[in-house]
Amino acid sequence: MKNLRRLRSTWEIYRWPLVVNLIALAGILSALIGNELWDLFSWLSLGMIAVAISLSSTFRRCNPVE
């Protein structure tokens, strides 16, 4: 079946990667700024991204022809 769904715009393609990378950047910098809570934020944000992307590229299934 031919896919007639509309194509994603540039903004739609980049918005989630942008959000993920801004969170990662905040995590990278926060551990540099302070300890305790700052470290915790760094672990949670960066760790979440690292784990989520590892799991999704291992297990996630996707069929683009919807």
Partner 1 sequence: MALSKRAVRVWYLVHKWSSLICMAFMLLLCLTGLPLIFHSEIDQWSHAEEYASVADDQQASLDQIMADSKAEKPGWELVFLVWDDTDPIIRVVMGETMKVNEGSAYFLTFDRRTGERLKAPPPNEGIMFFLLDLHGTLLMGLPGALFLGLMGVLFAVSVISGIVVYAPYMKRLPFTAVRRERGARIKWLDIHNATGMATVSWVLVVGITGIILTLVQPLSMLWQQGQLADIANTYRGTTLEQNAVGPDQVRAALLAEVPDADISFMSMPGSPYATPHHYTVALRGNTPLTERLIKLAVLDAATGQLDGIRSTPWYLTMVNISVPLHFGDYGGLPLKIIWALLDILAIFTLGSGIYLWLARGSRGVRRVEEIHAMEEETLQQQPVPGANG
Residues that bind partner 1 (CB under 8 A): 3-11, 13-14, 16-17, 20-22, 24-25, 28, 31-35, 38-39, 42-43, 46-47, 49-51, 53-54, 56-57, 60-64
Helices (H), 1-66: 10-33, 37-59
Q: Provide CB contacts within 8 A for 42, sequence distance 6+.
A: 27, 28, 30, 31
State in angstroms the smallest separation of the CB of 38 from partner 1. 7
Sign of the alpha-carbon torsion through 39, 19, 17, 25: negative
In whole angstroms, the minimum distance from the beta carbon of 1 to partner 1 comes to 13
Q: Report the alpha-carbon distance of residue 29 to residue 27 in Å, rounded.
A: 5
CB closer to partner 1 out of 1 and 4 = 4
Minimum distance, C-beta of residue 55 to partner 1, in the bound complex (Å)? 10
